[in-house]
Amino acid sequence: MLKYFLGNSPNWFKYTMIGFLIFNVIAFYTLGPVITAWCFILEFIFTLALALRCYPLQSGGLLAIQALILGLTTPKHAYQEVAANLEVILLLVFMVAGIYFMKPLIMYIFSKVFTKIKSKMLLSVLFVTIAAILSAFLDALTVTAVLISVAVGFYGVYHKIHSSEKDYDKDGVLDRKELSGETLEEFRSFLRSLIMHGVVGTALGGVMTIVGEPQNLLIGERMGWEFIEFFQRMAPVTIPVFFFGIATTMILEKAKLFGYGAELPSQAREIIEKYTEEMDAKRTAKEKYGLRVQAVCGILLIIGLALHLAPVGFIGLGLIILQTAFMGIVDEHALGHAFEEALPFTALLVVFFVIVAMIHDQHLFSPIIDWALALPESQQAGMFYIANGVLSMISDNVFVATVYIGEVKSVFDAGEITREQFDKLAIAINTGTNLPSVATPNGQAAFLFLLTSALAPLINLSYMKMVKMALPYTIVLGGVGFACIQFFIA
């Protein structure tokens, strides 16, 4: 049983998981449900941290089942959490699959960008800026799915040439050794730094608008803010943070700190350039027609999301239908491949909501909220920002925002704070859950999606490496955000 339990995971990990499951039962009856619930959170974070050793759906899922059996939460409450976040689940199921059919167009655009822009600094700034702008109007997960598709595409090209007998370099001679070892590591490092800049960009843009992140919509609805008002309310914090984020990107690339600064190896650039030229020359009439269909669907996607014509998942489903109908992809098995990337993560997210329901049922965050509201008014916004930021690092930022805005709304409805103070706290909650949460993959769904994607093992992106690479951004975004709250909001 131990041989097959959790598959190829190392034995020490298997023993640790068994130890957790035994300890939790003892802790529940000796230490009580609240302390046991905190233990569950730490154990779940441990399973996420070792995502490359064992996919967290299995290890984290066992913990979630045990939490339900011990009565720390109920299936009904877990279902309510899932129902409240159905839009995020529909987004993952349909939007990511919709993007799958746009891969040829995305690869075409980014291959041109890659080959035309030689400066890594400019490329990095471009990635952050484009990701931020797209995330402000689309959704961070959708943008992350695009970035992952691009990186997997380029790694696939490199790997195919590396393992084939074809010659792609300019002299017509390819040395296998040149593509292995240091060159391969440099290429991985290049992709790793670029993708991390991109996902940080999704956080920078996502915090700005009411449609950028799921919790923004929730907060905006509670406050009665529309798209423009939401942007204006957040601007004193989000605009300075955006420019400091861009400056951080430039400094990291220039100084080559925290795993950034790797250049695209000349061999890899030659491969991608040669491959792009070859693909352009070989492109059939059907493929050219496919690119045009994808471009039209891309424009419709941006219009649909920017105007919020329907829930994001529905727009994704529409994208699948339009692209496959007009490109003639009508075989059921051909459609199935589009859903392979997102469904394991969707299942993991449902497991995550079980843990979130447990946090809710055990009132783990309530003492922190009560303490923050007992402070003088001038200190409350800053403390809410810090409390939201810290909790979003270890929990889900959508959940943290839901809990906090709900508690503050109750206090406002009871007449204990003014509308002006309510507005200030809402801004602190939104920015606090969006900015410092880049510290770990736990807080931002886009980061967790990247960590558990097919790309992460290809470019050696582990949990701790992601935390290390996000650290400078966490310090700058979190620090500048707090300063803006203190000087411009509080």
Residue 90 predicted with pLDDT over 60: yes
**pTM for the whole structure:** 0.79
Tens digit of each residue's pLDDT (9 = 90 or more) over 96-107: 788 888 888 877
pLDDT band at residue 18 under the 50/70/90 scheme: very high
Instruction: Give the phi and the psi of residue 442 in degrees, each rounded to 5.
Output: -65, -40
Structural contact between residues 201 and 129, judged by C-beta atoms closer than 8 angstroms: yes
Query: Which of 7, 69, 89 lies closest to 317 in space, CA to CA?
Result: 89
Query: Which of 94, 63, 87 lies closest to 352 in space, CA to CA?
Result: 63
Q: Which residues of 313-345 are buried (b: 16+ CB within 10 A; e: fewer)?
A: bbbbbbbbebbbeebeeeeeeeeeebbebbeeb
Positive or negative, the CA dihedral 251, 254, 257, 261 is positive
Tens digit of each residue's pLDDT (9 = 90 or more) over 229-279: 889 999 999 999 999 999 999 999 999 989 899 888 888 888 888 878 888
Residue 246: the pLDDT is: 96
Percent share of the chain, pLDDT over 70: 95
- Helix (H) / strand (E) containing 176: helix 176-179
Residue 182: the pLDDT is: 78
Residue 368 predicted with pLDDT over 80: no
Query: Which of 446, 354, 480, 378 lies closest to 80 in space, CA to CA?
Result: 354
Q: Left, alpha or beta for 32 (phi > 0: left; psi -120 to 50: alpha)? A: left
Tens digit of each residue's pLDDT (9 = 90 or more) over 294-331: 999 989 988 887 777 888 789 889 999 999 999 988 88
Residue 324: the pLDDT is: 93
Q: Can you tell me the mean pLDDT for 277-295?
A: 88
Residue 92 predicted with pLDDT over 70: yes
Residue 15 predicted with pLDDT over 60: yes
